[in-house]
């Protein structure tokens, strides 16, 4: 997603980005993340603020609730839940993103963690809502489903819900059309959602999924 040209070229040439590469990428992005997501009028951040607002609406939180924000970045989504009186915990694997979030949201508990790795003991608890914005497209479909199952089984309270906002398209066909439309800036190293295939995969995994398209390339999922 708007990656430095050297890394983008390497991905398109079949290279594999290591965890250290990705961490460096997001560290480098931290200082101008706010500017880049808000200044992009088209793909991939069309409707960015609306997607975040829809996540909050669908979360339907009460002030006492505990919220876990996966991939908190600089805190754009988390601050909405803080303003509603929630107790918020945020994770990210980029130290510099966490440093930005710490300045923006000193009241939020921040934890450095790789979502696909072993989580720190401090995250061994359950939350009323688990939210995430523009993170899950980093993972292929099977990894998305595995992570959702882990979250549901190990970290969500009874009656809780997961709400995700991300780059997404209603069908595989729509995603391919978007690929051709935005070919020049499409990141071949990322895994943008196609809702029809995601719905089928969730059903097979015993997960219920509800989707809303918010913009030309963004939408929300409730699990």
Question: Per-residue pLDDT tens for 158-217?
Answer: 999 999 999 999 999 999 999 999 999 999 999 999 999 999 999 999 999 999 999 999
Q: What is the 3-state secondary structure (H, E, C) of 37-74?
A: HHHCCCCCCCCHHHHHHHHHHHHCCCCCCEEEEECCCC
- Domain ranges for the chain: 19-222
Asked if 81 and 61 touch (Cβ cutoff 8 Å), the reply is yes
Question: Per-residue pLDDT tens for 85-129?
Answer: 999 999 999 999 999 999 999 999 999 999 999 999 999 999 999
What is residue 7's predicted lDDT score, i.e. its pLDDT? Answer: 44
What is residue 42's predicted lDDT score, i.e. its pLDDT? Answer: 86
Least Cα distance to 200 among 132, 139, 145, 137 occurs for 145
Asked if 34 and 103 touch (Cβ cutoff 8 Å), the reply is no
Q: Is 196 helix (H, G, I), strand (E, B) or coil?
A: helix
Asked if 8 and 187 touch (Cβ cutoff 8 Å), the reply is yes
Provide the 10 A C-beta neighbour count for residue 7. Answer: 18
Rounded CA gap, 76 and 52, in Å? 8
Q: What kind and span of H or E run contains 96?
A: helix 95-104
What is residue 38's predicted lDDT score, i.e. its pLDDT? Answer: 58
Quickly tell me which residue has 């995603």 as its tokens: 175
Question: Per-residue pLDDT tens for 29-81?
Answer: 444 445 556 555 689 999 999 999 999 999 999 999 999 999 999 999 999 99
CATH classification of 19-222 is 3.40.50.150, yes or no?
Answer: yes
Rounded CA gap, 140 and 190, in Å? 8
């Amino acid at each position: 997603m708007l990656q430095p040209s050297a890394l983008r070229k390497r991905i398109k040439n079949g290279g594999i980005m290591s965890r250290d590469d990705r961490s460096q990428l997001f560290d480098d992005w931290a200082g101008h993340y706010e500017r880049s997501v808000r200044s992009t009028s088209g793909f991939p951040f069309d409707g960015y603020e609306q997607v975040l607002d829809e996540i909050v609406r669908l979360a339907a939180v009460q002030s006492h609730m505990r919220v876990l924000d996966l991939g908190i970045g600089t805190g754009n989504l988390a601050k909405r839940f803080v303003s509603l009186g929630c107790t918020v915990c945020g994770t990210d694997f980029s130290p510099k993103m966490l440093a930005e979030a710490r300045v923006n949201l000193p009241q939020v508990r921040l934890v450095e963690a790789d979502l696909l790795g072993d989580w720190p003991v401090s995250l061994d608890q359950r939350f009323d809502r688990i939210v995430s914005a523009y993170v899950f497209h980093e993972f292929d479909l099977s990894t998305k489903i595995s992570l959702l199952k882990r979250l549901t089984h190990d970290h969500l309270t009874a009656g809780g819900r997961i709400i995700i906002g991300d780059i997404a398209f209603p069908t595989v066909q729509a995603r391919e059309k978007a690929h051709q439309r935005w070919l020049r800036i499409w990141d071949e190293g990322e895994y943008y959602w196609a809702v029809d295939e995601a719905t089928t995969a969730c059903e097979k995994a015993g997960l219920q999924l509800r989707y809303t398209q918010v913009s030309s390339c963004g939408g929300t999922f409730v699990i």
